[in-house]
């Protein structure tokens, strides 16, 4: 076994210990699955859970007790207290390693399979789509401090000089743009509901493009503002909670809220939303998300941008989408359904996903982007 693979094994061991501890703490909706549960059954539980979370009209009779599945899902998917490994961890570790290895065989590393991706791009224009949080920047306690490194910014700048590149984020477009600080990119904020392109015509576009600006949920702006003010007022009694106005959607961050208060926070958020049937409530990693019920998501944003670039209904394009969260699955699914391009999931654990490849963390994303740039520069020199 090489030193490198040994290190990877050790990293993996840490990851599975953490995963095991989470599963032990919250057995009802364990994710990733416990040793006894197969990936498929976990996926079914997860889908059922998401169905419960998708409150649609904001109505329903779901209460917010600690033992409620909704609240449990907040705890399971957003763990704060991870127990140290216990004696029976060893067999569980082995099982999780096997499970992760199996998952990696169906979602192999985009770095290890770089040549295959390049081979698939022959005669095609690569178009890059990048999520921000957890993909270009690490997940941090304070969402206002989710800065990307200078190295990552340099890599994205180089990338955009060779390929059309878009940032697709749940954040407010202006906010994510202020983090990235690159004017030559396309930005799709608010889960794709606020899209803007670079002002200059893009040199890689197949057709003449003009400045792209698309906001399919404009009519919701007054409502979003109103709900934002209500949520700020209603949740101020919960220490550590943070309401973020993403313009076309809202985020209620609970990563700094005491776990004992999560149920109360969820209850307060839902009490506000019951008067707004056109908004729906979902959640991601330590965040509750409120957005319009319109059929628009990151997958639609990807299709819109491809069309804007003149690649709609064309075979000479290879879109690559890199993201780490559930909302990125909409884009992965679009690529899978179109049989075009590849979704790349950033994850250290096995997850049900429509992505074709995986990367473990933002540092691997950085390596992948650099390799793409090096390959392009090398092929241009030949």
Residue with smaller CB distance to Mg ion, 57 or 363: 363
- Shortest distance, CB of residue 257 to Mg ion, whole angstroms? 20
- Shortest distance, CB of residue 319 to Mg ion, whole angstroms? 18
Residue in this structure with the two tokens 């904001």, named with its chain if needed: 58
Query: How is residue 135 written in tokens?
Result: 């993909």
Q: Residue 329 interacts with Mg ion (CB under 5 A)?
A: no
Residue with smaller CB distance to Mg ion, 99 or 133: 133
Q: What whole-number distance in Å separates Cα of residue 82 and Cα of residue 363?
A: 24
Cis upstream peptide for 43 (omega within 30°): no
Beta strand 250-253 pairing with 242-245: antiparallel
Catalytic residue among 131, 297, 324, 330: 131
Q: What whole-number distance in Å separates Cα of residue 303 and Cα of residue 319?
A: 10
- Shortest distance, CB of residue 135 to Mg ion, whole angstroms? 5
Q: Residue 289 interacts with Mg ion (CB under 5 A)?
A: no
Query: 188 by DSSP, 3-state: which?
Result: strand
**Member of 22, 70, 78, 133 binding Mg ion (CB under 5 A):** 133
Contact 244, 253 (CB under 8 A): yes
Q: Is 131 a catalytic residue?
A: yes
From the CB of residue 1, how many other CB atoms can be counted at a distance below 10 Å?
Answer: 7
- Shortest distance, CB of residue 131 to Mg ion, whole angstroms? 4
**Member of 31, 64, 70, 131 binding Mg ion (CB under 5 A):** 131
- Shortest distance, CB of residue 224 to Mg ion, whole angstroms? 21
Q: Terminus-to-terminus CA distance in the chain, angstroms?
A: 36
| DSSP-derived secondary structure for 15-35 | HHHHHHHHHHH-GGG-SSPPT
Q: Give the CA count within 13 Å in the CB-facing half-sphere of 215.
A: 15
Contacts of 74 (CB under 8 A, 6+ apart): 254, 262, 266, 283, 288
Residue with smaller CB distance to Mg ion, 303 or 325: 325
Residue with smaller CB distance to Mg ion, 162 or 286: 286
**Member of 324, 329, 330, 364 binding Mg ion (CB under 5 A):** 324
Residue with smaller CB distance to Mg ion, 83 or 285: 285
Buried b (16+ CB within 10 A) or exposed e, 223-256: ebeebbebbeebbeebeebbbbbbbbbbbbbbbe
| Total of chain residues touching Mg ion, rule CB under 5 A | 5
- Shortest distance, CB of residue 63 to Mg ion, whole angstroms? 30
Residue with smaller CB distance to Mg ion, 85 or 362: 362
In what helix (H) or strand (E) does residue 343 lie, and over which residues does it extend? strand 342-346
Q: Residue 134 interacts with Mg ion (CB under 5 A)?
A: yes
In what helix (H) or strand (E) does residue 35 lie, and over which residues does it extend? none
Q: Give the interface segment with Mg ion, choosing from 223-231, 247-255, 260-268, 319-327 (CB under 5 A).
A: 319-327
From the CB of residue 141, how many other CB atoms can be counted at a distance below 10 Å?
Answer: 11
User: By the criterion CB under 5 A, which residues form the site for Mg ion?
Assistant: 131, 133-134, 324-325
Point out the residues that are catalytic: 131
């Amino acid at each position: 076994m090489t030193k490198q693979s040994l290190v990877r094994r050790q990293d993996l061991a840490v990851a599975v210990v953490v995963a095991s501890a989470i599963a032990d703490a919250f057995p009802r909706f364990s994710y990733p699955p416990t040793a006894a549960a197969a990936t498929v059954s976990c996926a079914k539980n997860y889908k059922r859970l998401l169905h419960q979370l998708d409150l649609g009209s904001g109505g329903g009779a779901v209460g917010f007790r600690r033992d409620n599945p909704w609240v449990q899902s907040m705890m399971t998917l957003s763990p704060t207290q991870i127990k140290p490994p216990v004696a029976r961890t060893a067999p569980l570790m082995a099982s999780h390693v096997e499970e992760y290895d199996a998952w990696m065989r169906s979602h192999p590393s985009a770095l290890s399979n770089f040549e295959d991706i390049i081979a698939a791009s022959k005669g095609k224009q690569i178009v890059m789509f990048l999520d921000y949080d957890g993909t270009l920047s690490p997940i941090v306690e304070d969402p206002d401090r989710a800065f990307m490194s200078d190295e990552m910014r340099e890599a994205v700048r180089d990338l955009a000089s060779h390929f059309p590149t878009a940032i697709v984020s749940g954040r407010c477009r202006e906010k994510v743009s202020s983090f990235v600080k690159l004017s030559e990119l396309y930005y799709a904020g608010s889960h794709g509901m606020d899209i803007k392109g670079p002002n200059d015509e893009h040199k890689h576009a197949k057709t003449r493009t003009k400045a792209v600006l698309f906001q399919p949920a404009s009519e919701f702006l007054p409502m979003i503002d109103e709900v934002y003010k209500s949520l700020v007022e209603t949740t101020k009694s919960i220490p550590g909670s943070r309401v973020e106005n993403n313009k076309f959607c809202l985020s209620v961050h609970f990563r700094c809220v005491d776990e004992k208060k999560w149920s109360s926070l969820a209850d307060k958020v839902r009490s506000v939303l019951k008067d707004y049937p056109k908004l729906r409530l979902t959640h991601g990693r330590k965040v509750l998300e409120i957005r319009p019920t319109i059929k628009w998501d990151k997958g639609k944003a990807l299709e819109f941008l491809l069309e804007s670039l003149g690649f709609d209904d064309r075979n000479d394009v290879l879109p690559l989408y890199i993201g780490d969260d559930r909302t990125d699955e909409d884009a992965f699914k679009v690529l899978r359904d179109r049989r075009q391009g590849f979704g790349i999931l950033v994850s250290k654990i096995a997850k049900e996903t429509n992505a074709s490849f995986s990367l473990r963390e933002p540092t691997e994303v950085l390596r992948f982007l650099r390799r793409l740039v090096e390959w392009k520069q090398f092929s241009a020199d030949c």
